Amino acid sequence: MPNQFKAEVFQNQFLPEDAREVHAIMTVAVQAGDGIAVTPNNSRLFGIICDTSGSMGGAKIHAARDAMVKVVNLLPEDAHFFIVTGASKASVICPVSKATPDQKTWAIAAIKEIHSSGGTLMSTWLSQALEQFNKMPNAVRQALLLTDGQNDDSDESQLNKILQACEGVFQCDCRGVGTDWRVAQLQKIANKLLGTTDIIPNAEMIEVDFRAILEKAMSKDVSDVAMRLWTPQGAKILFCKQVSPDIVDLTHRAKIVKTQVVDYPTGAWGKQESRDYHFCIEVNPGNVGDEMLAGRASLVYTNNGVETKIVEARILATWTSDDAKSTKIDRRVAHYTGQAELAQSIQEGLEARAKGNIEMATAKLGKAVKLAHESGNEATAKLLKTVVDIEDAPTGTVRLKKAVAKEDEMALETRSTKTTRIQKPQN
């Protein structure tokens, strides 16, 4: 059954006199069904990038090897794959090959030969991966990067440069095993390459995580999708964020297509996938009674150099002197504004805690507890409980825990951007 994209915009289009800011939530869902179908891309390339620096020695490298073997075995036979291992420099232990039984056997033999030694220069790993991905530019191109440590500080400018080159060529989910890696470092790579970041606290959990990533990657069948946004002349896009399933600020990723039109990258989409976006557009205000098209958002994918528009939705603005109309806030806009505030409170709370500013940390994390409670974000509420003792969730009254496990703090930091969908109103 072909994929069909459906988009809907939720907003309060009514603005008071002189108001300029237009907020809208666009929900996009891929469903199987009839209608304008998107031609699925059946060519998939999956890359495994694994840290083999000295620190990976012992249980970690064993677990990583076992997990990679499992992933290779699970690869569908029509998919392509490659494996890059990296320390101070990178090696392609298995170049791009089709996942036939023979190739799998060959790759598994190579995986078993992996040993850990040397430092950590991630730019070299990504550079090798880039070369492999460039061999199949029309496939759905996704990678998984596993590390346990920090990138060498001397590598920073080189890493920035290579990330620039990788952007748009492939997507990459990043996983840190243990607690010696830096969240910000992996988030930087994952964000640039439209992937997720997460912690794998114990080496024995690598396998489960890898399988989940592979499964998600293999479900993607439309690649290189852009969110195209038209805005009126003189308008300014204050922000464009993906807000579900997690928050990804795309504002500064805008590429100008032509006057009044920009593209934001959204990567590949799979069956049954749904995402929500929050737009905030500043427009030239109209007179009371004026109606304006404040934005036209569409998803566009490119296949073999041909652009196809998948779905489109309109963002409107109508100026009114009726306060009853203009003061209402759309439920979804309010919900996602709250979820963004929740993520920010957690980040600020953890930063304050790291700096020893107990008062600020308590206030911010307390606010986060309150917001998580109100919005029914149970996953985040549970993570917050590992860092604070909650006295009263509805008011956000909390005490910082004296001892917090490093992995709990890192889990909260990496997962704070996960959002919930709006809950059904209760009767």
Partner 1 sequence: MIMMQCPKCGSSVLESDKFCEECGTSLTAIGCEKCGAQPEAIDEEGFCSVCGFRKEVQRLEITINSRLAGVSDRGLRHHRNEDYLALQTLNNNTHILIVCDGVSSSSNPHIAAQTATESASTALITAIKHQKNPESAIKSAVAAALSSLCNIPYTKSINSEPPSTTLVAAVVQQNTATIGWLGDSRAYWISGNNSQQLTKDHSWLSEVVAAGEMTQAQAKQSPQANAITRWLGADVIDDAIPSIINFTIPSSGYLLLCSDGLWNYAEQPQQLTNLIQQTSNTDAITISQSLIEFARHSGGHDNITVALLSL
Minimum distance, C-beta of residue 13 to partner 1, in the bound complex (Å): 9
Q: Which residues inside 215-234 make contact with partner 1, applying CB under 8 A?
A: 230-234
**For residue 288, which of 313, 262, 320 has the smallest C-alpha distance?**
320
Minimum distance, C-beta of residue 130 to partner 1, in the bound complex (Å): 39
C-alpha 363/C-alpha 77 separation (Å) is 53
Minimum distance, C-beta of residue 227 to partner 1, in the bound complex (Å): 19
**For residue 96, which of 30, 44, 171 has the smallest C-alpha distance?**
44
Minimum distance, C-beta of residue 375 to partner 1, in the bound complex (Å): 24
C-alpha 284/C-alpha 23 separation (Å) is 14
C-alpha 73/C-alpha 321 separation (Å) is 64
Instruction: Dig out the tokens for 371 from the structure.
Output: 């917001």
Minimum distance, C-beta of residue 260 to partner 1, in the bound complex (Å): 8
Residue 289 or 394 with smaller CB distance to partner 1: 289
Minimum distance, C-beta of residue 317 to partner 1, in the bound complex (Å): 8
Minimum distance, C-beta of residue 320 to partner 1, in the bound complex (Å): 6
- Interface residue with partner 1, options 73, 160, 284, 423 (CB under 8 A): 284
C-alpha 275/C-alpha 157 separation (Å) is 33
What are phi and psi for residue 397, nearest 5 degrees? -85, 115
By the rule CB under 8 A, 378 interacts with partner 1: no
C-alpha 236/C-alpha 10 separation (Å) is 20
By the rule CB under 8 A, 274 interacts with partner 1: no
Minimum distance, C-beta of residue 309 to partner 1, in the bound complex (Å): 15
By the rule CB under 8 A, 319 interacts with partner 1: yes
3-state helix, strand, coil in the chain (%, to 5): 35, 35, 30
By the rule CB under 8 A, 337 interacts with partner 1: no
- Interface residue with partner 1, options 8, 78, 322, 389 (CB under 8 A): 322
- Interface residue with partner 1, options 171, 191, 266, 320 (CB under 8 A): 320
By the rule CB under 8 A, 293 interacts with partner 1: yes
Terminal Cα-to-Cα distance of the chain (whole angstroms): 38
DSSP annotation of 152 reads: P
Q: Which residues inside 253-272 make contact with partner 1, applying CB under 8 A?
A: 260
Instruction: Dig out the tokens for 135 from the structure.
Output: 């061999």
Residue 233 or 304 with smaller CB distance to partner 1: 233
By the rule CB under 8 A, 305 interacts with partner 1: no
Minimum distance, C-beta of residue 298 to partner 1, in the bound complex (Å): 14
Instruction: Please classify residue 258 by burial: count the beta carbons closer than 10 Å to its beta carbon, then call 0-12 exposed, 13-18 middle and 19+ buried.
Output: exposed
- Interface residue with partner 1, options 30, 122, 162, 294 (CB under 8 A): 294
Minimum distance, C-beta of residue 239 to partner 1, in the bound complex (Å): 19
Residue 284 or 302 with smaller CB distance to partner 1: 284
By the rule CB under 8 A, 8 interacts with partner 1: no
The contact mask relative to partner 1 for 11-30 (x = CB under 8 A, - = no) is ---x----------------
Instruction: Please classify residue 264 by burial: count the beta carbons closer than 10 Å to its beta carbon, then call 0-12 exposed, 13-18 middle and 19+ buried.
Output: buried
C-alpha 104/C-alpha 263 separation (Å) is 38
Minimum distance, C-beta of residue 323 to partner 1, in the bound complex (Å): 10
By the rule CB under 8 A, 139 interacts with partner 1: no
Q: Are 176 and 80 in contact (CB under 8 A)?
A: no
Q: Are 9 and 24 in contact (CB under 8 A)?
A: yes
DSSP annotation of 18 reads: T
Report how far apart, in Å, the C-alpha atoms of 126 and of each of 7, 197, 324 are.
Answer: 35, 16, 54
Q: Which stretch binds partner 1 (CB under 8 A): 41-49, 114-122, 280-288, 301-309?
A: 280-288
Residue 289 or 305 with smaller CB distance to partner 1: 289
- Interface residue with partner 1, options 78, 204, 215, 290 (CB under 8 A): 290
* 248-249 and 291-303 beta bridge pairing: unpaired
Residue labelled with tokens 């203009």: 326
Residue 17 or 77 with smaller CB distance to partner 1: 17
C-alpha 274/C-alpha 33 separation (Å) is 15
Residue 318 or 347 with smaller CB distance to partner 1: 318
Task: Kindly list the residues in this chain that would bind partner 1 in the complex (CB under 8 A).
Answer: 14, 230-235, 260, 283-284, 286, 288-294, 317-322
